[in-house]
Amino acid sequence: MRIGVFDSGIGGLTVLKELITKYPGNEYIYFGDTLNVPYGTKSKEELLLLSDKIIKFLISQKVELIIIACGTISSNIYEEIKDKYDVKIIDILSPTINYLNKNNYHKVGIMATPMTAKSLFFEKRIKGAISIGCPKLVPLIESGKINSVETDEAINEYLTKLKGADIIVLGCTHYPVLIPIIQKYSTIPLINMGKCLVDTLNVNNLSTLQIKLYFSKLTPEIITNVTNIIKENKEIIERKL
DSSP-assigned letters across all residues of 107-173: -EEEEE-HHHHHHTTTTTTSTTEEEEE-TTHHHHHHTT-SSSHHHHHHHHHHHHTTTT-SEEEE-ST
Please pick, among 141, 172, 182, 230, the residue that the annotation labels catalytic: 172
Buried b (16+ CB within 10 A) or exposed e, 67-79: bbbbbbbbbbbbe
How many CB atoms lie under 10 A from the CB of residue 98? Answer: 12
Q: Tell me the β-bridge partners of 174.
A: none
Buried b (16+ CB within 10 A) or exposed e, 18-32: bbbeebeebbbbbbb
Known catalytic residue: 134? no
Q: Which helix (H) or strand (E) holds 6?
A: strand 2-7
Please pick, among 10, 70, 77, 129, the residue that the annotation labels catalytic: 70
HSE, CB side, 13 Å, CA atoms: give it for residue 59: 12
Q: How far apart are CA 220 and CA 194, in angstroms?
A: 25
Known catalytic residue: 172? yes
Task: Return the closest-CA partner of residue 40 out of 6, 9, 2, 78.
Answer: 9
DSSP, collapsed to helix, strand or coil, labels residue 17 as: helix
Q: Say which DSSP state 217 is in.
A: S
Which residues are designated catalytic?
Answer: 70, 172
